[in-house]
Amino acid sequence: MSPLNIKKSASSHSAYELRDPNAPVIETHTLAVIVENEPGVLARVIGLFTARGYNIDSLTVAEVDHSSHRSRITVVTTGTPEVIVQIKAQLARMVPVYEVHDLTVEGPSVQRELALMKVAGRGEARIEALRLAEIFRAHVVDSTLESFVFEMTGTPEKIDSFAELMRPLGLREMARTGVAALSRGL
Amino acid sequence: MTRQMTGARMVVQALKDQGVEVVFGYPGGAVLPIYDEIFQQNDIRHILVRHEQGAIHMAEGYARSTGKVGVALVTSGPGATNAVTGLTDALLDSIPIVVLSGQVPTFMIGTDAFQEADTIGITRPCTKHNWLVKDTDKLAETIHQAFHVASHGRPGPVLIDIPKDVQFATGTYMEPATARVSHYQPRMKGDPEAIAAMVEMMETAERPVFYTGGGVINSGLKASALLREFVAATGFPITSTLMGLGAYPASGKNWLGMLGMHGLYEANLAMHGCDLMINIGARFDDRITGRIPDFSPKSKKVHVDIDPSSINKVIRVDVGIVGDIAHVLEEALALWKSRGSKVNKDGLAKWWKQIAEWQAVKCLGYKGSAKVIKPQYALERLEALTKGMDRYITTEVGQHQMWAAQYLGFEDPNRWMTSGGLGTMGYGLPASIGVQVAHPDSLVINVAGEASWLMNMQEMGTAMQFRAPVKQFILNNERLGMVRQWQELLHGQRYSQSWSESLPDFVKLAEAFGCKGIQVTDPADLDDAIMEMIRYDGPFIFDCRVEKHENCFPMIPSGKPHNEMLLGDADTQGVIGAKGAVLV
C-alpha cells in the first residue's frame, strides 16, 4: 500500500463490499513484540518476515525500558488467519523475544501514528489547507509564505484521509512514523 | 570468586566447563589466540579438518550420535562462510551445535578488512541464534548461553563471532551456573487438556497410526523408551520419517517401515487410510505429505512438538500439544493406563488385517541379478553382515540414502545420521568421522554415492590423521542417481549433466591417502569384500560398482497423494504432471 493511497481492500471507504467473497480472508493484525534490545534484533525480526514471505505494512521500534534493555516492536501485518497464527508462533520462538501480543485479538487497543506533511500553495488552496488542518487537528510546525509543514497524530486511516485531501492542495512530501499501539485498560 | 583471564583462555575454559571433550576446527588469523590456548592444554581434543564444512558436519555427526552438543571452531571470512552449509543443515535437522568463529578486531569491523565477512549477518538466517561478542567480560556468559540455546527447546545450531581483540583482552570469567539464561525457557510439559483429548481419541480410534520423527531422538533416550512402551501397550502400528529411524526398532512387531516419498507402501497407505494420526516429533515435511489437500483426508490428527510454530504450519491438526516428547509421552501413557488401558480391539484387528494385505505387496522387492550388483542387494548384504554389531550409519544424499533407509534396520536411536531437511551432498563422510570420534570402538559406515562422496572427500585426510577407521561404502553407479531418475521420469530421459565422468580410481585414491580401498563388480565377491572392510583396522574406501540405471522405488511422485505410489518401473510412464514437475 502506498502511503498516499487508500487501501485497495478496505471497504470502509466504499458503499459496497469490495472484497471477493471467495478469496481467502486477509486480515490485518497489529502485533506488539517485546524483545531484548540487543544488536541485530530488528534485523532478526525483519529477516523472519522476508525469509518466510510475510507482509510488513508498518513497523516501529524503540527501547521502552532502558534498565531491562527491552524494546517494543510494533508491527502491522496482513495475512490469512493461519498465516497470522504462524507469524506469532515464529516470532515467539525467537531467542531474544520475550512476549508477542496480538493487539487485534486481545481486546480493544489504541493505535496512533505521527505524520509530517509539507503542503505548498498560495491563495485559496493555502487557506483551504489550513482550514482542513484545523478540522483534522493537525498543527502547523513550520510555515513560509509558500508552504506549511503540518504535524498530525492519529490512526493510519485518519492520516490517509488527510493526505488524500492535501494532495490536490499541494502535498509535496510526507514522513510517517508507523503505528505505535497499546491495549486499552489494564 | 572472580577469575581474570584473556578472552582466548576464556573460550577454552568455558568449553571445559560445558563438558566439551572434542572440537572440530581449522585455524586462521582471527582465531590464533584461541589456537594458542588449545595448544597449551590437554583436556579438549582438537580434530583438524580439511575444510570448514567438514568441521560442521563432523560436529553434527558427533552431536546426533551422542545426544551432546557438537562444537566447531573456524576462522573469520572464508572460514565462517564455509560453515554456512553445515549450519543450515543443522538448522533444518534440529541438531545442537555451537560454532565459534573468529572475527577481525572490533575497531576494524566494517572496513572491509582482510578476511572480514559479516558473519553475524550471513549466519543469522541459518542459526537458531547468533552473537557477536564485543566485550571480553561478556564472552564466557555468551558461550554458556549459546550451549543453553543450542540444546534447549527445539535443538539447533548457534554461532558466536569473536573478534580478535576480544580474544587478546583480559576480562572476568563467569561460571556456567551464574550465566543468565532465564529468558529462554521453552515449554517442556504439554497441556493436560490436550493430552487428555489425545488419550480419548486413542481409546476409540479404529485405524490409528503413530507417525514419529527426529524429535523423538532429540528428546533423548527416555522418549524412545516411552514410545516403545506406548506402542507395545496399545498395539498401534508405527511409522517414522527418515530422521526418526531407530526411535522404534526396525525389528519391532508394530513397525511399518519408513514413510514418505520413498517410504514403504504399507506405511504410506496406513497414513492415507488412518482415522487417527498421532504425530510425535515430526513436522509434516513436504516429502511426507505429498499433495496437501489429499493428505490423509479422513483422519483426526494429533501433533506433539516442542516447537509451537511447527503446529498447524503445513497441516491443520485437531489437537496440538506443545511440549517435550518424553514429558508428553510419560503423561499420556500414565493417563491412558489410569483410564483402563482401553483400545478399540475390533477396529484394530481389522486395521492390522488391512495392513497385512499392504505388507503382502512386498514393495521393497526388486529384480535380482547374478551379473551386476544391484544397489539394494549390496545394502541387504551389508545389513546381513553387520546386523547385531555395534554399528553407526551415516549417508550422503540421493538414491543410496533412500535405499539405506529402506534396507538397513535401525534398532536404537542415535545410530542413523543423515541429512534429511537440507539434503546436503557431502554430509556423510565428515559426519562419519564425527561419529567415529565419539565412538572410537564402534563400526561406523558411511553409505555413499560416488558423486556426493567426492564433495567432501578431502576429509579422508582427517580420518587418516586421527585414526578414525570409518568405512566408506560407495554405491558407485557413475551417475547422479536421483537426478537421473527424475530426468527419466519427467524430463523425457534427457540426462542433462547427471553422470559422473573422470571419476578417480577409488582404490588408488585410498592408497594415496594411506588407507585401503577395494573395488567390487561381481555380486559373488560382495560378502567377502564387505567382511574385509569390516575387519580392516583403519579407514576404508569400498568402491561398489552397481547397476547404473536402477531407480529408487517405492516412490510417491511430486504432486500426488499417498495412495498413488509407484512400485516399480512398469508404473512410471507419464506419472508426473506439469504441476508435479514444479514441486521437485
Residue B1 has pLDDT above 60, yes or no: no
The sign of the torsion formed by the CA atoms of B471, B476, B479, B484 equals negative
User: Tell me, what's the pLDDT at B553?
Assistant: 94
The C-alpha of A58 sits at a distance from chain B's nearest C-alpha, in angstroms, of: 22
Residue A122 has pLDDT above 80, yes or no: yes
Residue B30, classed as helix, strand or coil, is helix
- Residue A121: pLDDT band (50, 70, 90) is very high
pLDDT tens for each residue of B16-67? 999 999 999 999 999 999 999 999 999 999 999 999 999 999 999 999 999 9
Residue A6 has pLDDT above 80, yes or no: no
Q: For chains A and B, count residue pairs whose Cβ atoms are closer than 8 Å.
A: 38
Closest of B225, B209, B185 to residue B273, by C-alpha: B209
Helix ranges restricted to H, A5-71: 41-51
Closest of A107, A98, A113 to residue A160, by C-alpha: A113
Which of the residues B10, B18, B24, B52 is marked catalytic? B52
Listed in sequence order, the residues at least 6 apart from A178 whose beta carbon sits closer than 8 Å to its beta carbon are A58, A59, A60, A74, A76, A113
Measuring CA to CA, how many Å separate B401 from each of B61, B68, B106, B398?
16, 24, 44, 5
Question: In this structure, what is the dihedral angle of CA atoms B292, B313, B126, B435, given to the nearest 10 degrees?
Answer: -70
Please state which of the ranges B350-354, B460-464, B490-494 shows the lowest mean pLDDT: B490-494
- A52 and A33 part of one domain: yes
Q: Which residue of B has its CA nearest to A83?
A: B313
- A169 and A148 part of one domain: yes
Helix (H) or strand (E) holding B347: helix B345-359
- A161 and A97 part of one domain: no
Which residues in A have their CB inside 8 Å of a CB on B? 36, 39-40, 43-44, 47, 51, 82, 85-86, 89-90, 92-96, 98
- Residue B560: pLDDT band (50, 70, 90) is confident
Residue A5 has pLDDT above 50, yes or no: no
The C-alpha of A90 sits at a distance from chain B's nearest C-alpha, in angstroms, of: 5
Contact residues, chain B, for A89 at CB < 8 Å: 308-309, 311, 313
Is residue A14 a part of any domain in this protein?
no
Listed in sequence order, the residues at least 6 apart from A134 whose beta carbon sits closer than 8 Å to its beta carbon are none
Measuring CA to CA, how many Å separate B273 from each of A23, B108, B197?
31, 61, 21
- A137 and A153 part of one domain: yes
* Percentage of chain B exceeding pLDDT 70: 97
Is residue A83 a part of any domain in this protein?
yes
Helix (H) or strand (E) holding B433: helix B428-438
Is residue A19 a part of any domain in this protein?
no
Distance CA B101, CA B52 (A): 11
Q: Domain with A159 in it: what CATH number?
A: 3.30.70.1150
Are residues B544 and B377 in contact, defined by beta-carbon separation less than 8 angstroms?
Answer: no
pLDDT tens for each residue of B505-533? 999 999 999 999 999 999 999 999 999 99
Residue B2 has pLDDT above 80, yes or no: no
Is residue A43 a part of any domain in this protein?
yes
The set of cell numbers assigned to A63 is 527501547
Residue A12 has pLDDT above 50, yes or no: no
Is residue A136 a part of any domain in this protein?
yes
- Residue A23: pLDDT band (50, 70, 90) is confident
User: Tell me, what's the pLDDT at B344?
Assistant: 97
| Preceding peptide of B554 cis, ω within 30° | yes
- A80 and A145 part of one domain: no
- A67 and A119 part of one domain: no
Exposed e or buried b for every residue in B489-503, given b needs 16+ CB within 10 A? bbeeeeeeebeeeee
Contact residues, chain B, for A82 at CB < 8 Å: 312, 316
Compare B15 and B579 and report the one with higher pLDDT.
Answer: B15
Name the phi and psi angles at B501, rounded to 5: -100, 165
> Which residue of A36, A40, A86 is in closest CB contact with B313?
A86
> Does the CB of B183 have a partner CB in chain A at under 8 Å?
yes
- Residue A20: pLDDT band (50, 70, 90) is low
pLDDT tens for each residue of B424-447? 999 999 999 999 999 999 999 999
User: Tell me, what's the pLDDT at B558?
Assistant: 79
Question: In this structure, what is the dihedral angle of CA atoms B262, B449, B396, B267, given to the nearest 10 degrees?
Answer: 10
pLDDT tens for each residue of B187-242? 999 999 999 999 999 999 999 999 999 999 999 999 999 999 999 999 999 999 99
Closest of B102, B24, B106 to residue B58, by C-alpha: B24
Name the phi and psi angles at B184, rounded to 5: -110, 90
Domain that holds residue A146: 109-183
pLDDT tens for each residue of B71-88? 999 999 999 999 999 999
Tell me which of A87, A88, A95, A100 to substitute to probe the interface with B (most B C-beta atoms closer than 10 Å).
A95
> Which residue of A44, A92, A98 is in closest CB contact with B124?
A44
Question: In this structure, what is the dihedral angle of CA atoms B551, B555, B558, B563, given to the nearest 10 degrees?
Answer: 150
Q: Give me the domains of chain B, ranges plus CATH numbers.
A: 3-178 (3.40.50.970), 192-359 (3.40.50.1220), 375-545 (3.40.50.970)
Number of domains in chain A: 2
Please state which of the ranges A1-15, A78-92, B371-385 shows the lowest mean pLDDT: A1-15
Bridge partners (DSSP) of residue A113 are: A154
Which string of DSSP letters, residue by residue, matches B367-393?
---SSSB-HHHHHHHHHHHHTTSSEEE
Q: Which residue of A has its CA nearest to B145?
A: A95
Domain end position, chosen among A102, A124, A154? A102
The C-alpha of A114 sits at a distance from chain B's nearest C-alpha, in angstroms, of: 31
C-beta atoms of A96 and B120 within 8 A: no
Distance CA B193, CA B543 (A): 55
Contact residues, chain B, for A40 at CB < 8 Å: 120-121, 124, 132
User: Tell me, what's the pLDDT at B571?
Assistant: 66
Are residues B48 and B38 in contact, defined by beta-carbon separation less than 8 angstroms?
Answer: no
Residue B408 has pLDDT above 90, yes or no: yes
C-beta atoms of A47 and B125 within 8 A: yes
Bridge partners (DSSP) of residue B446 are: B394, B472
Distance CA B510, CA B288 (A): 38
Closest of A51, A40, A115 to residue A73, by C-alpha: A40
Q: Domain with A88 in it: what CATH number?
A: 3.30.70.260
Quick one: average pLDDT of B101-121? 97
Residue B583 has pLDDT above 90, yes or no: no
pLDDT tens for each residue of A67-86? 999 999 999 999 999 999 99
- A90 and A137 part of one domain: no
Is residue A46 a part of any domain in this protein?
yes
Domain end position, chosen among A102, A131, A163? A102
Closest of B236, B243, B265, B276 to residue B562, by C-alpha: B265
Q: Which residue of A has its CA nearest to B315?
A: A82
Helix ranges restricted to H, chain A: 41-51, 81-92, 123-135, 156-166
Residue B424, classed as helix, strand or coil, is coil
**Cell 498560495 maps to which residue?**
A122
**Cell 531422538 maps to which residue?**
B217
Contact residues, chain A, for B316 at CB < 8 Å: 82
Is residue A7 a part of any domain in this protein?
no
Are residues B565 and B264 in contact, defined by beta-carbon separation less than 8 angstroms?
Answer: no
Is residue A21 a part of any domain in this protein?
no
- Residue B573: pLDDT band (50, 70, 90) is low
> Which B-chain residues 427-456 have CB contacts (< 8 A) with chain A?
none
> Which residue of B125, B128, B311 is in closest CB contact with A51?
B125
C-beta atoms of A95 and B184 within 8 A: yes
C-beta atoms of B125 and A98 within 8 A: no
Please state at what angle helix B139-151 crosses helix B7-17, rounded to 10 degrees.
30
Domain end position, chosen among A67, A102, A137? A102
Distance CA B421, CA B458 (A): 24
Residue B457 has pLDDT above 70, yes or no: yes
